[in-house]
Amino acid sequence: MISIAIDGPSGAGKSTLAKRLAQEMGYLYVDTGALYRSIGLAVLRAGKDTQDKAAVVSCLPDIVLDLRYIDGTQHVFLCGEDVSDAIRREEVSMAASHVAALPSVREFLTETQRELARKNNIIMDGRDIGTVILPNAQIKIFLTASPEVRAQRRTRELQQKGQNVPYEEVLADIRERDANDMNRAVAPLKQAEDAILVDSSGDDFEASYHKLYDVIASRLPK
């Protein structure tokens, strides 16, 4: 099986690019952020503080997560309910970043991710895929872009969904999540030593897509 790990900060374009690459290559696309988001959502729904470690851990035994593919698209089910849309809300982004800092949450999700990689050719995107989850992935990419560019993209994306969040607020949110994700003690966001760095700041979707495609195509085992 072939595993391609794409890590990087929020809003660098990982999921849109990885989804299209996976489609093109006939690989399974795994968005691991959706798993952390689902746990964040479950904690919010339980009325608990997502920054309270004991409260978050107490929610875990009741959480059943399942990734299913419907017409080739990943859907995440939380205790049988399709929460694929609910986890995209802004408040869930921050909740996900909080719960993702906890070792017990990360352990809770490790096996689900590795199992998918054992059974499928995959493109998996996240923060620690190349460093922790799949250290033996054949191809590792660290995809990044400046916080300002990422905030612009995210603001547009939210607008398209009818959520009018001001750019400044989105930028502050991105900076806060970057800080959480990069400075946590377990599995922080960082480039694996053997990852290829791709900066998408100056590129539109098509240009980034071709850049990534070329990087992957030239490194795929023959």
Q: Which residues form the interface with ligand DC (CB under 6 A)? A: 10, 32-33, 36-37, 93, 96-97, 100, 126-129, 177, 181
Q: Which is nearer to ligand DC, 28 or 128 (CB)?
A: 128
CA atoms within 13 A on the CB side of 128: 21
CB of 115 to ligand DC, least distance (A): 15
CB of 110 to ligand DC, least distance (A): 10
Q: Measured over all CA atoms, what is the biggest interatomic distance in the chain, rounded to whole angstroms?
A: 51
CB of 109 to ligand DC, least distance (A): 8
Q: Which is nearer to ligand DC, 103 or 217 (CB)?
A: 103
Q: Which is nearer to ligand DC, 148 or 214 (CB)?
A: 148
b/e burial code for range 22-43 (CB count within 10 A of at least 16 → b): beebebbbbbbbbbbbbbbbbb
Cα separation, 11 vs 16, in Å, equals: 10
Residue 52: which residues within 8 A CB-CB, separation 6 or more? none
CB of 87 to ligand DC, least distance (A): 8
Q: Which is nearer to ligand DC, 94 or 216 (CB)?
A: 94
Chain centre distance of CA 60: 20
- Tokens standing for residue 91: 């408040």
Contact 10, 155 (CB under 8 A): no
CB of 222 to ligand DC, least distance (A): 29
Q: Which is nearer to ligand DC, 125 or 216 (CB)?
A: 125
- Tokens standing for residue 119: 């059974």
CB of 104 to ligand DC, least distance (A): 13
Residue 98: which residues within 8 A CB-CB, separation 6 or more? 40, 50, 51, 56, 180
